[in-house]
A and B are shown apart, each in its own frame.
Chain A
């Protein structure tokens, strides 16, 4: 297997390149088309190059409440992110206790992953309706999104704790550390970089969530709901400009998390020397 690269390598590499093109091609296409000239349409050819459609985004009345929905999605993403990190770490630590009934909790987590989103949307909608509560993005929307982000957070924590060497904890305990001190000064620093991964899942999955937020966001739209509303009414490249804008935002967020992860790993590597 480690000899000269055979024909199969080049065929597979070509297949992989095609797949990456398939994955990113459409996104790159709309990124280009969002710079259409003012007279341009939804497809090629380009009718000049301009930032006209990005300008349209900033005119509030033109295409709905984009900035309001962006602010809400951003705030909701942060709320979901923090909650996902805290609850996943606690849950991950809990599972290490091998407590009785952990099987039930485990299946609850897996169930959360496989229940179709529309059931969460419908169920939470009905529940709030029956309890005479108003659905709002920060309450019902927040909870519904957690049913999607928490399983991912916990799966990451499972993977992290599977590789965790409990000798560190035993050493801390032998040196007289209390359980809380052990977690605070030994466990958390070791799992720290993985928490950045959990946070990334929490924020981005919330920021882009649609199906679970549909019936649970109430009268104030999140950004994906706003965008979906636009698809039926807007037929100009302003749609692409918005798409490019939020995708660029997602890439920036992913890049920031990657940078944080890299920095925290590097710091740890230096600390080890």
Chain B
């Protein structure tokens, strides 16, 4: 972004919004919106409370487990669908439905299946994250140049070698893109899951803050969550940049 010939870094626009927030907050127009400085102060206090630390550990653990499951199952499933037509015909419809369906509606069902606890949250993360990972992996595998597969076969690659030495690597840019999008969806899953269960982790905190109108803490928690989602997306993007050079180089 440039303004009057000066280059302005991207973060500057964020600063403008923060200042606006501060002004609106100080004007006391909406009681839901305390000044930004107050939210920041609340954030600093919040991270020092044992209840936040405990909730963070619970949330992170459920998130990590759900993501690990969706990657471990999603990537092989996507490869299977990209390679084998019958698998694609059988599963394609469902993956597409689930990837665009309003999944929040299913979370209550998960609660019935898995109870009011961590399992439900893990299942919610899994359910939110896996489909885009499957779809992107499948697209990546479909993208692989047929001659690369022929090359591996002509030099005597066994089936496992074909998958681990060629297919996985050739589809890696798309797989990573899928995982990045899956992580963002997974954050959604963990929040929605916890909100619905309402007695676990951040869900419990959100519930407490909003019920008692502790808006500064409520927003502080929201910002922490947003920042977390952005940071992990950024980390994956870094990894993607490392393999990007060959995403374009493939014939």
Q: Are A and B genuine complex partners?
A: no
- B interface residues (Cβ-Cβ under 8 A, vs A): none
